[in-house]
Chains A and B, each alone.
Chain A
């Protein structure tokens, strides 16, 4: 048991690491540097059994310190990164990539590009094949930077076009960047993953050059290929593309359906509901109601007048038509226990009235239908509205009172 307390190299360095960790968490960069200075000699010891070895630790910790320390310069940072690249060949491309990220964060686009090019040309026996994924990423980011250059050239061209000039050289350059970017971006998005920025840029390029088919295919792949991780943005991009292309409502709706399933509180749900409400198909209208109710389950939408107006409109329309009241009943069933306290408390009535009359109007309508004219919310708001002699509130009161039996049918 005396061996447990033996202070040895390993324990000493473990303790050192925990001091570094504390210092980093408290943003005490000087102190972290102090302890790191003592830790670096771990490099001379073999840790091949450990999960994370000292060279990786030093790379990550050193990066943090040099990035944040007030006395550290970009030059020192770069010098450090170069050293880290030599430390572990198995990590070479990763280190290059992260170095590039830092350069980009610091606005050094050209240096970043140079580093990417350099990394791309790296070869090291079997390591090259092992680090294939990182290599693809490096190529992808170079493609991204090529896209940025393309974009710049494009803007120049557009400006010149306005002035009536047209510079062939600029145009050629632009096309050159396009080709370079397209090749690399296309490659990376073939691999299952989350590539939002790459996809967006690639689609942008394709659209500019009129290759809409390819763009559509790329977006469909990205959204619907089950090998790719579920990604709400994929559906958003597809939807936006389809909208730009002027596609039919039918295809727009089908693009948003999955988004509703994944992220019911997404901001596009408002558009979705609007489209669905107007549909001639009953199923679609039914879905619309489901969608808008789901949106308002989320706290972030509580005070959104637009969302409430969508719900109010649809509920009103259903009540007037006296058809499909069971739809409302179904939706309300799972919500009647908690929506009253969540949305329709007296406190909220006061607050909504004070802050946003339109919001309170829409909500009052919904409350009146769902909870009857005697509910707290409706009573307060309609009373205030009538007191203030606002016409629409008088209309509202009349409407709800007339349709009060509906509430009984819904709640029963």
Chain B
């Protein structure tokens, strides 16, 4: 960003970054020895990233505000986020080398920086205080309502009537109003062409960087940390400097009113990776945290399931080839390979293994459990056999308690922050008054609440449920044995359960309806639903996502048999 030296060969100032992190001149492809230094991504008032056409107003305004561009705002957001990740223990290279470069690459590709401004595109600088009187005469200028209807799917801001109505009533024509210089222009841009930046996309950036560095944080964990407040997202704009006035249309961009959805962040990340023309990501090998074998181990522990199940997850992984490097590693832009959701995949593998061993048809697993119970009563030597029933009771109890807590927390989220938001100057005093009233009421009723609302966020932890073997009540099942449900056949351990039921006989076309299958709770056994619910809670995603992956795995696993038998509801013999 600060590299403004002229190229030694062609005297242009048009730099790009090689994969190795060196600056090269785009005009003449001269590679320099200069590597990017630690970049100061602080917001600098007077720096100009792009060559802007004439018509700019003076930089410092009377009201203490300054001109700032939307992408500068996003840069700040990313900076905050990556700093938070660093605080969580992510390697420091992520900020200075990886994310920073991704961001610059993005700016360049989307022609917001590091490039010549395409001819004809001008940035109309609209100052906060200025009111342009020739709005109606300019047919190109979009009306406010039009801008409002260009929706990002975030939040309800676009349906905010007071905004629309208050502006339409405004006699002075401050229609395209924003604190930033290019707020209105930003919203107008055709998003499909240039992959317009949004708040959820900041998380896509983070996830992409994490994946590149192969940090042991899955996307579901990342999103959970966001929701728990360890990574700034919701009101991150409150950390913008005072002189960066945020109002009007900026709110539509930076002020989110919904939590990011896994699918959205995930899909955007892949779009982004392709857009940036990134090469193949670093390999995900067996020793990697994101490898299904590793993640399965983690999830098995968290789900309080016996360690012995890990052998089975590894077997399944191997059999269907989802542990291969080429399967797991991301190749941006490659449309033929399926995009891998590491966490969901691992959870789905465990579900399939449970189905293989316990059938989970609301009968067989209880039957097995009874046998195990009998055996455990009569025979106390050697370790206990795993009893599905006991496991179910213990885990359900904890799950229900945690779910209840989570639901209450969700109802108690505070979405607003101290920094006032207002759409126009007219709105400002009203917004401030409202804020004051809200604070008063919060104080009044806060005092009447039973317990003091704890201001401290709980420490971020990778494990949401934990089970201790030292616990005397025997509620930890890690060490339990699967002997009761296995038998030997040709020197190989195999399940006693001879049956298996497929979640779906025919997979949907993902491209058409977005899913491989359509999960409806009532159509499936309750044990199956319980297992889905468990992982749904741990990963904070809908059970149907896991169900989709389960279907995918099953179809890979029973591929041959499926080709032969297409009868609906057939029970297959393994």
Interface residues of chain A, those whose CB is within 8 Å of chain B, are 1-3, 5-10, 12, 15-16, 18-19, 29-31, 33-38, 40-41, 43-46, 48-49, 58, 62, 65-66, 69, 71-72, 76, 79-80, 83, 86-87
Contacts and interface: CB of A to CB of B under 8 A. Distances in A.
Interface stretch (B205-213, B272-280, B368-376, B404-412): B404-412
A37 B156 contact: no
B568 interface: no
B510 interface: no
B449 A34 contact: yes
A33 B449 contact: yes
Interface of B: 153, 155-156, 159-163, 165, 257-259, 261-264, 407-408, 410-416, 421, 431, 434-435, 437-438, 440-442, 444-451, 453, 514-515, 542, 544
B144 to A, nearest CB: 15
A83 B410 contact: no
Contact of B415 (A2, A29, A41, A86): A41
Given A41-B416, A44-B416, A33 B258 contact: no
Looking at chain B's contact residues, the main secondary structure is helix
Given A19-B408, A40-B442, A48-B161, A5 B415 contact: no
A58 B444 CA distance: 12
A61 to B, nearest CB: 9
Given A48-B161, A48-B162, A12 B411 contact: yes
Given A29-B448, A80-B444, A16 B412 contact: yes
A33 B411 contact: no
A411 to B, nearest CB: 60
B412 A38 contact: yes
A44 B431 contact: yes
A38 to B, nearest CB: 4
Contacts of A86: 437
Contacts of B264: 2
A12 B160 CA distance: 17
Given A8-B155, A15-B410, A40 B448 contact: no
A69 B448 contact: yes
Contacts of A5: 261, 542
B444 A87 contact: no
Contact of A40 (B258, B411, B441, B451): B441
A12 B413 contact: yes
A265 B444 CA distance: 50
A2 B261 contact: yes
Given A7-B410, A12-B415, A71 B161 contact: no
A6 B438 CA distance: 25
Contacts of B421: 44
B415 A6 contact: no
B259 A6 contact: yes
A326 to B, nearest CB: 65
Nearest to B515: A1
Contact of A76 (B258, B412, B444): B444
**Top 4 nearest A-B pairs by Cβ distance?**
A8-B258, A30-B450, A34-B449, A33-B448
B438 A46 contact: no
Question: Which of A3, A6, A58, A71 is most buried by chain B, counting CB atoms within 10 A of its CB?
Answer: A6
Contacts of B163: 46
A82 to B, nearest CB: 11
B437 A83 contact: yes
A37 B440 contact: no
Contacts of A72: 448
B450 A34 contact: yes
A98 to B, nearest CB: 18
A217 B257 CA distance: 62
B414 A38 contact: yes
Contacts of A49: 159, 161
A87 B433 CA distance: 10
B122 to A, nearest CB: 34
Contact of B156 (A8, A41, A71): A8
B412 A35 contact: yes
Most B Cβ at <10 Å: residue of A12, A58, A71 = A12
A46 B449 contact: no
A65 B431 CA distance: 26
B223 to A, nearest CB: 11
A69 B444 CA distance: 12
A16 B448 contact: no
Given A34-B412, A36-B445, A40-B441, 18 more contacts: A2-B542, A8-B257, A12-B410, A12-B415, A15-B411, A19-B408, A30-B450, A31-B450, A34-B449, A37-B441, A41-B415, A43-B437, A44-B434, A45-B160, A46-B163, A49-B159, A65-B448, A76-B444
Contacts of B544: 1
A18 B410 CA distance: 12
6 contacts: A8-B258, A31-B450, A37-B446, A45-B156, A65-B445, A69-B448
Contact of B261 (A6, A36, A38): A6
A35 B544 CA distance: 31
Contacts of A43: 434, 437-438, 441
A29 B434 CA distance: 25
Q: Could you say which of B262, B416, B445 has the most chain A C-beta atoms within 10 Å of its C-beta?
A: B445
B440 A83 contact: yes
B437 A30 contact: no
Given A9-B257, A69-B448, A16 B411 contact: yes
A68 to B, nearest CB: 11
Contacts of B514: 1
A66 B448 CA distance: 9
Given A8-B258, A16-B411, A44 B448 contact: no
Contacts of A7: 258-259, 410
B442 A37 contact: yes
Most buried by B among A9, A65, A76: A9
Contacts of A44: 416, 421, 431, 434-435, 438
Contacts of A18: 411
Nearest to B442: A37
A130 B155 CA distance: 34
Given A6-B258, A83-B440, A38 B413 contact: yes
B161 A46 contact: yes
B328 to A, nearest CB: 24
Contacts of B156: 8-10, 45
A41 B259 contact: no
Contacts of A38: 411-414
A3 B448 contact: no
A275 to B, nearest CB: 58
A184 to B, nearest CB: 34
B451 A34 contact: yes
A76 B408 CA distance: 27
Contacts of B160: 45-46
Which of A7, A29, A58 has the most CB atoms of chain B within a 10 A radius of its CB? A7
A43 B433 CA distance: 11
Contact of A35 (B161, B263, B411, B444): B411
A30 B155 CA distance: 31
A91 to B, nearest CB: 15
Contact of B438 (A10, A34, A40, A71): A40
A31 to B, nearest CB: 6
A58 B431 contact: no
Contacts of B408: 19
Given A12-B410, A16-B412, A40-B441, A71 B435 contact: no
A48 B438 CA distance: 18
A1 B542 CA distance: 10
Given A6-B258, A40-B442, A30 B410 contact: no
A76 B447 CA distance: 11
Contacts of B159: 49
A62 B450 contact: no
Contact of B448 (A1, A10, A30, A79): A30
Contacts of A29: 448
A58 B415 contact: no
B161 A62 contact: no
A233 B316 CA distance: 81
